Amino acid sequence: MIIVKTKAELSKMMAAARLAALALEHIGKAVRAGISTLELDSMIRRFITVRGGKPSFAGYKGFKGNACISVNHELIHGIPSKRKILRDGDIVSVDIGAFVDGFHGDNTKTFAVGNVSEQARDLLRVTEECLYQGIKKAVAGNRVGDISDAIQKHCENSGYHIVKEYIGHGVGRTLHEEPDIPNFGKAGRGPRLVPGMTLAIEPMVNATTSNVRTLSDGWTVVEGNGNLCAHFEHTIAVTEGEPIIMTLV
């Protein structure tokens, strides 16, 4: 069932989304060569908890971390580790959720570490563009497929590969709600968008193949050929007019 939020619920959700966004902005300033993903994870936990929130991913289905931190060929669900040290030229995706007063906010950005390759910069640019192409279609009267179609076309027209096994989702009192928001599909298909719907739109883009696989840790999902991949995400609210990006700082 798709849950449409009231104005009061949207106001509460804005607080959670803003905290998630501020945490992501904060951690982006800390991303550098020589820091471990576990150190970044600890910083995220402290930033959220001292502001009265809870990291949404802490303990989620047994996840061992407060945020998903994925490096280079790791697409999503990377487990923070003291042994995983960022190096100059890496790219790192940081997926942060914050739970405040009964609601979740969810956002992701892939950061460049120092001097990255032109291929990496282009991949990050295109993936972020895919996100905003999808958001532009998140207007009342459209359908979920309009978001999906816009993301897929921009990705594939740019020479990259959209991941189909993992998708965006509704978000609110629970981290994952209906409807599913695939990053591929046909315009005019799927549930109709109405004001009060809150969605986590999150294109996941691979450099050389749409295939992915999960590592033996049971969590970390990697690009099928072991090449670069990127992930960007915002929580948005559908309104009578333009969508509100709730995780925009």
Q: What pLDDT sits at residue 239?
A: 97
- If one counts every other C-beta atom within 10 angstroms of the C-beta of residue 167, the result is 19
pLDDT digits (tens, 9 = 90+) for 131-156: 999 999 999 999 999 999 999 999 99
Q: Helix 118-136 to helix 144-157 angle, to the nearest 10 degrees? A: 160
Structure tokens at 183: 């990053």
Share of the chain above pLDDT 70, in %: 100
What is the C-alpha to C-alpha distance for residues 137 and 132, in angstroms, rounded to an integer? 9
Structure tokens at 96: 């942060």
Q: What pLDDT sits at residue 246?
A: 98
Per-residue pLDDT, averaged over 41-60, amounts to 98
Q: What pLDDT sits at residue 29?
A: 98
CB 209 within 8 A of CB 196: no
- Per-residue pLDDT band for 163 (boundaries 50, 70, 90) equals very high
pLDDT digits (tens, 9 = 90+) for 207-236: 999 999 999 999 999 999 999 999 999 999
What is the C-alpha to C-alpha distance for residues 138 and 164, in angstroms, rounded to an integer? 20
What is the C-alpha to C-alpha distance for residues 237 and 139, in angstroms, rounded to an integer? 9
Per-residue pLDDT, averaged over 191-198, amounts to 98
- Per-residue pLDDT band for 164 (boundaries 50, 70, 90) equals very high
Q: Taking all residues of the chain, what is their mean pLDDT, rounded to a whole number?
A: 98
